[in-house]
Structure formats: structure tokens, C-alpha cells
Chains A and B, each alone.
Chain A
């Protein structure tokens, strides 16, 4: 094995030399990748942080895992990404689209595009193999289906996945982050609980990331059961809203495309996930100090948003009053939560709903993402997502024009009905109704809405009206979020 877990010895090994030679090509290739998050920044330099050969360098195809660090001309923080590099002396035609560049007598390409490579990775996991610093680990209790080769999933954003038949999906985490990825961690925990609310974990690839204090563990990829024949909750909710808005005068409970039954089942699913996470990883109770810290954290986020979003600044004090509502209770039960829940993180399968993607908000540091929080954070986030679904079509209405008031009213009815159905379903399983802690729920929801206002101000001004509207409503509502 050529690699040494990412540390670069005094003597440059041949693969390092190959990769170094490839860096200019990578620099050109990188901005075209969907998972490359920093599209609005200009790359200053790309350097190799570490690599590990998976096969001998002269194998056909050869595979290596590499971590690169990207620095930018704005002198902001570096981004680190994981690559799985395949190389062959000659490239089959169907891999042309994945080419990164030439290195020596070989063509180097994005390895996940190569069915033979995805087949190899799967078999390494199934056979519980260690290659240098890379550990290919099957989950105990589960038997990974041997159904390579994999096929790249094309629609993905922040990570890259390959699907094996309709049995398994392997996700390569593109961001290289030290520590156990919460997606893997929570799926493992939920697997121990035999959760029926997530796609069962089948295995993982774990590696090391070079750091100032020596190598740290890093999650490279995870292998899960594939939820065949599923559709995501976001697009299903939009279908329902579209159906409502196309009707002349029917109310949400009267139209064929009513989503409340699904929202209700989804509430039950999320409550089950919370119960399983609590059972697997424990709960704790924050006292007054802990709750105050949560409030402070929200207020801090508020002030950051105020600085950049005038709409937030205008209502800053009123918002702060609602956010302090989180301290209404003398304590708060916290546990591990999903952390970035929305309709797009749910899958409807023929057997019911699944929650997916437990990474948390990717833009937040890992410490934040793994910090126990109230399950109400997830509930509030789902409530926000129902608002988004309700008003999404109206936001696309036309630039600069506002949708007619009667459509806005009907969208609001849809949101109210489905938020309410979600909470009903949640309460059935959880045993307590999230709306019983209205002040806390409202604070969490407003905290999320403030973040959304900031995000939309920067990224999608067309959509800004959605969280703005909710923010105003949450601030002015006398006794809590409507419909929830």
C-alpha cells in the first residue's frame, strides 16, 4: 500500500506525485461538481491533504481515496472534500463524462461513476476489510446484499451516491469533516433500536483525516438499504397544494389531493424516530441555565441575521421577546434530534414514511450538530416546511408581483390543516402534544424562520416572502403559531 493514512512523509511516494500532478485538473473540474458548495467563491489553491490507495496503483481500474483542501481568494476558511479517484490506462466510453484529467500513462476520473469500482467498494464492506487507514465495516445484524455494480444517482446535491440494484445505496460524504458523521452515528443507533422509520444501515467506510493533532477519525461513506419505489415528502406536498390552488372554491379538506392523512402519518413517524433516538442515546433535562443558554444561542443567531437582513432588524426586539419564550418552561428535555428536518428529508415508501439524512444542518460545526436539543426543534422545522410547501407555488407566481389574496388565504389553510395533522399524529405516538409547550415551540419555529429570512435574503430573494410572512405572523400571534 502506497498511502500512509494521509501523512506525507519526507519521501514523496509515487501516488502522491501522481495526485500532485493532477491538482490543476482537479481545480478546473471542481467547480462543475454539484456537491462543490462554494460556487460563489473563487478558488485560490487546491492541495492534497491525504490519500489512501484502495487498490495497487497499477490495478485496472485502480482506486484511491483522497482528501483535498480548497482555499479561496477571499481568504475565508478552507473547505475540505473527499474524492474517490479511479484510474485506468484506457477509458471505456461511458466514463468519459467522469474524467478529471491525465496523470502519467493513466486517465483519472470520478471513481463512483465506474461500476467496477462501486462493486469493489461494496464487496470490501461486505467482507469487513481494512486497507491502510480505510476501514470497510459491515453492520452486525444486517447482511448487505451482493448486488454490484452500483449506478450513480444523478439528482444529488451535497453528497454523491450510488445505487446497487434496488437493494442498497452508498453515500460518499463529500465534505471531509473530522469526527463521526452524525448521519452514520444516528443510523447506527437507530439500527440498534430496529427502527422502522429509517432505511436500515448496512455498512460504512471509515477513514482518517490528517489534522494538527494527528489523524482523526472521519466518515467516508455509508451503505444503507435502498427505499425502492419512494417519493420525497416535499414533492408530494407540492402536488397537494397544486391540486388545492387549482380548485375553484374547495377547502383543503374537500379536495382530492388532501395531504392531511400523509401529514398525520408523518407526525407519527417523526415521533417514533424521537423515541428511538432517546432510547438509544439517552435524554437529559436542561435546567434554567441550560435553557437560558439555548435562548442566548437563538438571540445570537438573531443578531447575526439582523446585521444582514433588514427585515429581521426591523422586528428585532419583538422577535427576541418570542425567542425568550423558550425559557417559559423551567426546564427542557433534550436528546439527539435530526437537526435539519424538512419535507425533503422524508421519503414516502409503499410501507410508510422514512426520515433520511441525519447529518444536521451541514453549515453548522459538528459540535453544534451533535448537541442534544429539544425534539421540538425538529417539530418546529417540519412546521416551517409545511409553510414553505404551502406558499412555494405562490412564491414562484411571478417576480415582483404578489399572488392574489384569496390564493394566499387558501395556501394558509393548507398549511394550517397539515401542520395541525402533523402535530396530531406526533402527539399520538409521543404521548404529549407539541402544542402543549406552545411558547417553546413558537420560539423554535421563529428561530428557524429568522434563519430562513437570512438565507433567502442572500440566496433566493423570490422566496423571501415565505419566511417573512411566517416571521411576522409568529411575532404578532398572541398565543402561538396558527394551525399548530
Chain B
């Protein structure tokens, strides 16, 4: 455990009179209580991504805030999630949803203060809920004092904090990620008279990780928040930290070396905390971010599995398991202490970078019928509208999310089937306020409705009067109650989080079946069989379960025993878009 002696000190740089850069220390604040160290908590956890500004507004300014979020922790504890992931809540001009950080050690005033944050983490921990936060290491806002100093004084202590060049021709092989808005990865700065490098928006200059001072500053930023008590970081846009001539600037060895350094800080100073990499790459490249497999993984504990998500959508539309089977077959083994993070939707668009051009056209045609539904290379919709609000499909998708290999990440509002607003700009369409009640502002805020940071969804199907937490809490048949039950069932079976994954195949290509299996320290086996019908039509499937001959199946949502496994293939029939979760147990265990 961290004994508090390793806190990053307050750092002060005086560049010249009137240009003093002071950064606070964790020493200056109270610290949140800690949960016991558990080595594999992140493998068993259900994560919940919550946008502070969209969850609950405590001070009637139309902006969700940390105190509002703290007030809703009882709801999240009731839902059963284990860890909250907060996208950036740092001081920011908010030109990229907070991913443009202006000060790594300050909370966005609209959200509250560092003290509010510590209180939030403390209260979450009191309920057994962990908290990880986004950290953008690759770049800052152009309003960050580091950048202001860097452009003003090339010779000063921050002069080399960013990637500057006299022309805009270097690193031509690096692709442009935000193709909708950016024409080049270089932008001219009239103050310094040079071009600066940016992999994302032109108001987000990339930090220069070749400068050791930048690496140290970033690690001190990590320490600051870890000292205050958070349980880890989601590291945004990690593949792009370094640039090298003749490369596309992604996944470079230097980037991995820096991540190993971050991990070592965690291992030495903050055991039990985690790093989760956001690397929108093919699984074969992403596994590199887990680090050395021999060492059990010495970079990030977790990484998102990006290509899986669009393929879940494709598989159901195609009524074929192969889009999923393919990507899982192409997914390499990961180190034993590593875990995938999987998701159906998040605050970004449904990313289509990791599909082929044909598949992308297809996905656009299927899921983004209006051009406004597209953003960059993806689709900006929430889960329920993507699935035409079809309850069967919502349940099937969630069952897949909760049972495929990896820790599931639920996006706030999807547990009640919230809708989106495609008429809002950029990715705000999926960031509208949480719908708590059928009352004014959906119970999100008591402010004047005109003051709301983003409008509440008001359409007849997904509007807050139809879709809200209060109404669904009162109906045991609601999607919310269903989600809560499924999370609870998942918690009872460690195989979902820790187990091996073995796809069973079967002659029916519309049915995706797999076994998750784990053995605990006492030798107790937990074996879970998941059978999913990708088709809207009822389907039979014959499964080869001979490895569990004479064992029995118990369906997990109702506890109904199914016939024992015999010599012949096990026959199941599934309704359209139906799924089953079974526990497989030796006969004597019944």
C-alpha cells in the first residue's frame, strides 16, 4: 500500500517574472479511503462509464457535476456495477469533451473541485465501487500553460514540451484520425512561427515524449490522482505518444517503453491499481500494450478490444456467428494478469476503423441510415436506437457483452435503453443528460430548462417521459431490472470474468456458443455455457458437450435444471435473438 510518502511534490517552474507555473501536490488535499488490494478485481468487474456532466446536476447550473454524481452512487451500487470509469473531468476549454486538458491537476470548475472529487471517490469506495479516470497523455489543450509557455518561449523550460517543426512535411505516413475536421497533422502557430504536431484536433498539440521532462511531468500527474485515491487510469490514445521518421507513428517501441515505466510506478507505489489502454488497433497489435507475456504483462492491465464491438452488430444483422468467431480467432492469447475491456457503446462513435471498407459500407447502410448518424469513421448512436429499441436484441447484445471474454463496460443510460439526439454536433448526440424521472429536465437538474448544457432527449419513443430510471425501477419487467439481474448472475460465476473461452461451433451458423471455464485456488470448477441465437428466427442447435458427459446443465436466470449431457450432441432450441446461460456441474454437485 502507498504510505503517502511518495506523493509528487508541488512543482514550480519560473520561466521569467510574471510567468510562474505552479502545480499543486496531493499533499494539499484530503485523501479518499481505500478498498482492500485485490489482484484480479478488474478481471471480475463490471465497469460503468459515466460522464460527469451528463449524470446529475447538484447546483442548478445545467451542468452535471461531481456532487451530483456522488448523490447517485446509491443507484449505481444498486445496479451492481463494480467500477466507474470517468472520462476527463479536468480543467478544459471543452472543445473535445474534456479530452483537451488545460490543467492536469485541476477539476473543471463546472464539475466542482478536487475536494469534491476526493469526496466522490471516498463515497464510491464506501459502497465498494472503484473509480478509474481518463488521462490523456498524448496531447493537451492548446490553452494548457505548458503550450502557452512553449509557443511563447522556445528556449524556456517548456520550449521542448511539444513537437515543433519548421515545415509541415515530417512524418507523412501518419494517418489523419479526425478526417471530418482535420486536413493535416501539422498546424502553423503564428506566435512561435513554427508548425506543431497533433494526431487529433489542431487545438490539441501532441506532447513531446522524447523530452524526459515531459515523461516525468506525466508520471507526476499520474501520482497526483493515485495519491488522492483513484483505482487506476484509462489511458487515452496511447499508441501515438512518440513520433519517428519512416513510421506511421503508432505502437512504436518507445511508446511501449514509456508504458512499462508507468506500470512500474503502479507496481512499486500503488499495488492493486490498474492501467487500461485505449488503443484502437487490431488485437494482434493491442496485445503489445499488455507488455511482456513472460512477465505476466508489464504494461497495461487492460486494453479495450475495439474490433469485437462492430462485429457483434454485424453478426446479428448477418444472422451469422462468423463475424464474431473470426475476430475472436484472430485475438491472440494475453498475459495471465491481463484482461480485455469490451463494450457495446461508449461516448465515442461506434468505431469502424477496425473493419474492412466493405464492412464499413455495410454498417453505414444498416445502422446509419441518415448521414447525420455518421461521425468520423463511425456511427454516433446509442445502443437502443441502433437496435430499433428491440427488447430481444437489447437483451441478446447485453448477454453477449456480459459473457464474452473480457470485462464489460456499460455506457451510462444504456441500462435503461436511453436514446440519442443525432441533431447535436460532433459526438454530443450520445452524451445527453441521464434520464432519472419523468419530471422537469428528466430529474437531471432543477435548473431552468434553457440552461441545460445539452438538451434532454424528448422524442416519443426514447424521451425522458417514456424512458427513465424511476419508472423502470418501479417495474420489475423493465430493462433496468433485467440488466441488474444479469449483472448479479454474472457476479455469481467467476468464469465470466476469469474463465477460459472456448467456442463450441456447431452446425448452425446462426448460433454462437461458447464455454467459459475457470478453476479457483480450491480446485472448484466454474463452467458456464452460453448459447446465443444471432438470428431473428427460432433456431435449433446441436452442441458437442461430450467433454462434460453425464454432467448437468442448470439455466442461470431461473435455476431450472436441464437434461443431463449424454453421448449424443446436446440439442437446444432458441427463440429468435434468444440466448441461454447455463452452469455445467458434475452430477454429484447438484
Chain A proximity mask over B504-544: 1 for CB below 8 Å, otherwise 0? 11111110000000000000000000000001110000000
Pick from B317, B322, B366, B535: contact of A350, CB under 8 Å = B322
Q: Which of A215-263 contact B (CB under 8 A)?
A: 228-232, 235-236, 239-240, 242-243, 246, 254, 256-258, 261
CB contact under 8 A between A242 and B537, given known A236-B320, A350-B328, A351-B326? yes
Task: Report whether A229 and B504 are in contact in the complex, using a CB–CB cutoff of 8 Å.
Answer: yes
A94 interface residue per 8 A CB criterion: yes
Give the complex CA separation of A212 and B185 in angstroms: 81
Given contacts A257-B319, A350-B325, 12 further A-B contacts (CB under 8 A): A154-B568, A228-B505, A229-B329, A235-B508, A236-B320, A239-B510, A243-B319, A256-B316, A256-B319, A261-B362, A351-B326, A351-B329
Listed from nearest, the 7 A-B pairs whose CB atoms lie closest are A231-B509, A229-B505, A256-B317, A350-B329, A350-B325, A236-B509, A350-B326
Give the complex CA separation of A154 and B567 in angstroms: 11
A73 interface residue per 8 A CB criterion: no
Give the complex CA separation of A116 and B317 in angstroms: 44
A363 interface residue per 8 A CB criterion: no
Give the complex CA separation of A155 and B544 in angstroms: 13
Q: What residue in chain A is nearest B313 (Cβ atoms)?
A: A256
Distance from A143 Cβ to chain B, minimum over Cβ atoms (Å): 21
B14 interface residue per 8 A CB criterion: no
Task: Report whether A239 and B535 are in contact in the complex, using a CB–CB cutoff of 8 Å.
Answer: yes
Give the complex CA separation of A256 and B314 in angstroms: 8
Give the complex CA separation of A228 and B319 in angstroms: 19
Give the complex CA separation of A321 and B366 in angstroms: 45
Task: Report whether B537 and A246 are in contact in the complex, using a CB–CB cutoff of 8 Å.
Answer: yes
Q: What residue in chain B is nearest A233 (Cβ atoms)?
A: B509
Task: Report whether A229 and B325 are in contact in the complex, using a CB–CB cutoff of 8 Å.
Answer: yes
Distance from A430 Cβ to chain B, minimum over Cβ atoms (Å): 20
B546 interface residue per 8 A CB criterion: yes
Interface residue range, chain A = 20 to 34
Distance from A149 Cβ to chain B, minimum over Cβ atoms (Å): 11
Most buried by A among B322, B329, B506, B568: B322
Distance from B370 Cβ to chain A, minimum over Cβ atoms (Å): 16
Q: What residue in chain A is nearest B514 (Cβ atoms)?
A: A229
A102 interface residue per 8 A CB criterion: no
Distance from A251 Cβ to chain B, minimum over Cβ atoms (Å): 12
Q: Which residues of A contact B (CB under 8 A)?
A: 94, 151, 154-155, 166, 228-232, 235-236, 239-240, 242-243, 246, 254, 256-258, 261, 348, 350-351
B212 interface residue per 8 A CB criterion: no
- 5 A-B pairs whose Cβ atoms sit less than 8 Å apart in the complex: A231-B321, A231-B506, A257-B317, A257-B320, A350-B322
B217 interface residue per 8 A CB criterion: no
Task: Report whether A229 and B503 are in contact in the complex, using a CB–CB cutoff of 8 Å.
Answer: yes
Chain B residues, Cβ within 8 Å of A351? 326, 329
Give the complex CA separation of A350 and B311 in angstroms: 13
Task: Report whether B509 and A235 are in contact in the complex, using a CB–CB cutoff of 8 Å.
Answer: yes
B365 interface residue per 8 A CB criterion: yes
Interface residue range, chain B = 20 to 34
Give the complex CA separation of A97 and B8 in angstroms: 75
Chain B residues, Cβ within 8 Å of A166? 505
CB contact under 8 A between A232 and B507, given known A243-B319, A348-B322, A350-B325? yes
B175 interface residue per 8 A CB criterion: no
Chain B residues, Cβ within 8 Å of A254? 365
Chain A residues, Cβ within 8 Å of B535? 239, 243
B38 interface residue per 8 A CB criterion: no
Distance from A454 Cβ to chain B, minimum over Cβ atoms (Å): 30
Distance from A27 Cβ to chain B, minimum over Cβ atoms (Å): 27
Give the complex CA separation of A351 and B503 in angstroms: 14
Q: Which residues of B contact A (CB under 8 A)?
A: 316-322, 325-326, 328-330, 358-359, 362, 365-366, 503-510, 535-537, 546, 567-569
Task: Report whether B569 and A154 are in contact in the complex, using a CB–CB cutoff of 8 Å.
Answer: yes
Chain B residues, Cβ within 8 Å of A256? 316-319, 366
Give the complex CA separation of A232 and B508 in angstroms: 9
Q: What residue in chain A is nearest B509 (Cβ atoms)?
A: A231
Chain B residues, Cβ within 8 Å of A236? 320, 509
Give the complex CA separation of A261 and B360 in angstroms: 12
Pick from A228, A231, A243, A258: contact of B507, CB under 8 Å = A231
Distance from B391 Cβ to chain A, minimum over Cβ atoms (Å): 18
Chain A residues, Cβ within 8 Å of B365? 254
Q: What residue in chain A is nearest B510 (Cβ atoms)?
A: A239
Task: Report whether A348 and B509 are in contact in the complex, using a CB–CB cutoff of 8 Å.
Answer: yes
Task: Report whether B318 and A257 are in contact in the complex, using a CB–CB cutoff of 8 Å.
Answer: yes
Distance from A157 Cβ to chain B, minimum over Cβ atoms (Å): 14
Chain B residues, Cβ within 8 Å of A154? 568-569
Task: Report whether B328 and A235 are in contact in the complex, using a CB–CB cutoff of 8 Å.
Answer: no
Give the complex CA separation of A243 and B320 in angstroms: 11
Give the complex CA separation of A239 and B507 in angstroms: 12
Give the complex CA separation of A154 and B571 in angstroms: 13
Q: What residue in chain B is nearest A230 (Cβ atoms)?
A: B505
Give the complex CA separation of A426 and B321 in angstroms: 24
Task: Report whether B318 and A258 are in contact in the complex, using a CB–CB cutoff of 8 Å.
Answer: yes
Give the complex CA separation of A229 and B509 in angstroms: 9
Q: What residue in chain B is nearest A259 (Cβ atoms)?
A: B318
Most buried by B among A166, A231, A242, A246: A231
Distance from B140 Cβ to chain A, minimum over Cβ atoms (Å): 42
Task: Report whether A155 and B320 are in contact in the complex, using a CB–CB cutoff of 8 Å.
Answer: no
Chain A residues, Cβ within 8 Å of B506? 231
Q: What residue in chain A is nearest B539 (Cβ atoms)?
A: A239
Task: Report whether A239 and B320 are in contact in the complex, using a CB–CB cutoff of 8 Å.
Answer: yes
Give the complex CA separation of A242 and B362 in angstroms: 19
Task: Report whether A239 and B322 are in contact in the complex, using a CB–CB cutoff of 8 Å.
Answer: no
CB contact under 8 A between A235 and B325, given known A256-B366, A261-B358? no
Give the complex CA separation of A348 and B505 in angstroms: 11
Chain A residues, Cβ within 8 Å of B326? 350-351
Give the complex CA separation of A260 and B337 in angstroms: 41
CB contact under 8 A between A239 and B509, given known A154-B569, A229-B325, A350-B329? yes
Task: Report whether A239 and B319 are in contact in the complex, using a CB–CB cutoff of 8 Å.
Answer: yes
Chain A residues, Cβ within 8 Å of B318? 256-258
Distance from A151 Cβ to chain B, minimum over Cβ atoms (Å): 6
Chain A residues, Cβ within 8 Å of B507? 155, 231-232, 235
Chain A residues, Cβ within 8 Å of B569? 154
Give the complex CA separation of A236 and B507 in angstroms: 10
Give the complex CA separation of A261 and B503 in angstroms: 23
Give the complex CA separation of A254 and B359 in angstroms: 13
Q: What residue in chain A is nearest B314 (Cβ atoms)?
A: A256
Q: What residue in chain B is nearest A257 (Cβ atoms)?
A: B319
Chain B residues, Cβ within 8 Å of A350? 322, 325-326, 328-330, 503
Distance from B566 Cβ to chain A, minimum over Cβ atoms (Å): 10
Give the complex CA separation of A46 and B506 in angstroms: 38
Give the complex CA separation of A273 and B505 in angstroms: 25
Give the complex CA separation of A3 and B317 in angstroms: 59
Task: Report whether A94 and B508 are in contact in the complex, using a CB–CB cutoff of 8 Å.
Answer: no
Distance from B4 Cβ to chain A, minimum over Cβ atoms (Å): 50
Give the complex CA separation of A240 and B366 in angstroms: 16
Q: What residue in chain A is nearest B319 (Cβ atoms)?
A: A257
Most buried by A among B318, B328, B567, B568: B318
Chain B residues, Cβ within 8 Å of A228? 505
Chain B residues, Cβ within 8 Å of A94? 567
Distance from A236 Cβ to chain B, minimum over Cβ atoms (Å): 5
Q: What residue in chain A is nearest B326 (Cβ atoms)?
A: A350
Give the complex CA separation of A336 and B499 in angstroms: 47
Chain A residues, Cβ within 8 Å of B316? 256
Chain B residues, Cβ within 8 Å of A235? 507-509
Give the complex CA separation of A142 and B343 in angstroms: 40
Q: What residue in chain B is nearest A229 (Cβ atoms)?
A: B505
Most buried by A among B320, B537, B568: B320
Give the complex CA separation of A239 and B315 in angstroms: 13
Chain A residues, Cβ within 8 Å of B568? 154
Q: What residue in chain A is nearest B321 (Cβ atoms)?
A: A231
Distance from A147 Cβ to chain B, minimum over Cβ atoms (Å): 12
Give the complex CA separation of A257 and B329 in angstroms: 22
Give the complex CA separation of A166 and B546 in angstroms: 12
Chain B residues, Cβ within 8 Å of A151? 546
Give the complex CA separation of A257 and B576 in angstroms: 14
